[in-house]
Amino acid sequence: MFALRSSSRGILGSRFQVSTTWRRLPNHVPQQRSSSNCYRMGITSAFKGLRRSRYAIANSPGILTPSRHASKSMRAASSGSSSASSTSVVPLPTREQLSILAIRSAIPMVGFGIMDNVVMITAGGAIDSTIGVSLGISTMAAAGLGQCCSDVAGITSGGIVDAAVSRLNLRHHGLSPQQLDTRVARVCGTIGACVGVVTGCLLGMTVLFCMDTDKADRARRAKELKSIFESVMNDGHKLVGAERATLFLIDEDSNELWSQVATGMEGENIIKVPSTKGCVGTSVTNNIVCNVPDAYASEDFNKEIDVSTGYRTVSILVVPIRSESGKVLGAIQMINKKQQPQEGFDGDIADNSNDATIIPFSENDEKVVSVLASHVASFIRVVESSE
């Protein structure tokens, strides 16, 4: 047997061998091979062996080809990133840290809530009782203007609240920025801020105990009533020939009688008298018509009023103003009825006659003033229903 052995160096430096054999023919039939055929068969077998060697090398576990090296590098990178992400997990805040975070979020909002409500209520009340009454602005509009003042105060004095809170030296929660960004930390901070601002607003509302909350309502009601009553009282006293007429209303909060409509008196100052004194107090308290022919002979008459005004009162007629349910709302007072020169008197003549004799009011005068009082009660009901 003849063997052809050839050797070569592979691309990666490994050595391989390829052998080809021919079966020997009988001696009487010798093998006829040309040199070219032998060369061709040897080279072909060598390349076949080379391909088989490369396949074996590529699939060898110890040797990495470029493609396998890239895939393994990608797998290693992905495994490294997953391990890095697993090691960078943010720990959850403890219950104590969350409590401290909620407290630190609540305390500044308490200060802002107090300042917001105090400024809003004070400014809104001042606007309501001044500009609101003169310009006819509603209470809700005044509250909105007060809120504007409160917002401006919050912007300008926000640093003062922060500085005051920083001086409290509150305990720090010790949370990292990543922990503060967790959902549970954000929820606790929001809840603490909400509780703080509600608490501050409730504390700021205590300023209402030091304010006269009905002042604006009384002033607005007096303005509305004044425009209505002036038209009644300017001509009402002429119906009975009286020199003066005054309309009194009851202030149930202060238990006083007040009036802003009085004919024959200068100025627009509000008159206030106790609801239990004088002829008006007697009429309102007992719900009766009080007809006094001689004021100085009556025990109910208050002489101090004449002393302070310099006016001498002779005859008085007081008729209570009653609601539909019979409740006393106020009273109409007529002072000094003048005797007319003729039976059918003229109101203008009676009003301008300074030499007329003062006489007591008659029963007919009581009926006339009672009708006038019923009209006034109707006006009051309309005003109260529109509020």
Beta bridge partners of 273: 257
Start-to-end Cα distance in the chain: 131
Does position 376 have pLDDT exceeding 80, yes or no? yes
Give 118's pLDDT tier (boundaries 50, 70, 90): very high
Mean pLDDT of the chain: 74
CA 125 to chain centre: 16
Does position 11 have pLDDT exceeding 50, yes or no? no
Beta bridge partners of 16: 8
Average pLDDT over residues 302-320: 84
Instruction: Answer with the residue of higher pLDDT: 285 or 306.
Output: 285
CA 201 to chain centre: 10
- Lowest pLDDT segment from 145-159, 188-202, 249-263, 280-294: 249-263
What is the structure's pLDDT at 316?
A: 93
What is the structure's pLDDT at 5?
A: 43
Report the percentage of the chain scoring pLDDT > 90: 20
What is the number of alpha carbons within 13 Å of residue 143 lying toward its C-beta?
5
Average pLDDT over residues 278-303: 88
Average pLDDT over residues 304-311: 77
Contact (Cβ atoms closer than 8 angstroms) between residue 286 and residue 318: no
Of 151, 113, 149, nearest in space to 131 by CA: 149
Give 163's pLDDT tier (boundaries 50, 70, 90): confident
What is the structure's pLDDT at 198?
A: 94
What is the structure's pLDDT at 239?
A: 84
Domain ranges of the chain: 2-58, 95-213, 216-386
Give the tens place of pLDDT for each residue, 15-29.
444 444 444 445 444
Give 14's pLDDT tier (boundaries 50, 70, 90): very low
Beta bridge partners of 257: 250, 273
| Distance separating alpha carbons of residues 166 and 295, to the nearest angstrom | 72
Give the tens place of pLDDT for each residue, 197-215.
999 999 999 988 888 777 7
Domain 216-386: CATH superfamily is: GAF domain (3.30.450.40)
Average pLDDT over residues 355-364: 84
Give the tens place of pLDDT for each residue, 56-88.
544 555 444 444 444 555 554 555 554 444 446
Contact (Cβ atoms closer than 8 angstroms) between residue 319 and residue 330: no
Average pLDDT over residues 160-169: 80
Give the tens place of pLDDT for each residue, 220-243.
777 777 776 777 677 778 888 888
3-state SS record for the chain: CEEEEEEEECCCCCEEEEEEEECCCCCCCCCCCCHHHHHHHHHHHHHHHHHHHHHHHHCCCCCCCHHHHHHHHHHHHHHHHHHHHHHCCCCCCCHHHHHHHHHHHHHHHHHHHHHHHHHHHHHHHHHHHCHHHHHCCCHHHHHHHHHHHHHHHHHHCHHHHHHHHHCCCCCCCCCCHHHHCCHHHHHHHHHHHHHHHHHHHHHHHHHHHHCCCCHHHHHHHHHHHHHHHHHHHHHHHHHHCEEEEEEEEEECCCCEEEEEEEECCCCCCCEEEECCCHHHHHHHHHCCCEEECCHHHCCCCCCHHHHHHCCCCCCEEEEEEECCCCCEEEEEEEEEEECCCCCCCCHHHHHHCCCCCEECCCHHHHHHHHHHHHHHHHHHHHHHHHC
